[in-house]
Amino acid sequence: MLGQLVDVRKAAGVTQAELGRRVGRRQTFISKVELGERRLDVAEFINLGRAIGADPYALMRKVES
């Protein structure tokens, strides 16, 4: 699921630093999430997806199928 989030972030042209600013976190938080060093709860995943401009629910459905 994280791979999808990273792919969408990169496709949107959003840097880790910019995404961190959008969600009120540091770039290091985003990096740790993307590397799998920090787990996300569902609310955080939804918040990150929306901050990127993606539909987080569509991302989850895509991973499920």
pLDDT band for position 62 (50/70/90)? confident
Mean pLDDT throughout 47-60? 93
Q: Where are the domains of the chain?
A: 2-64
Mean pLDDT throughout 37-41? 93
d(CA 10, CA 31): 13
14 CB-near residues (< 8 Å, 6+ apart): 22, 52, 53
Architecture in CATH of 2-64? Orthogonal Bundle (1.10)
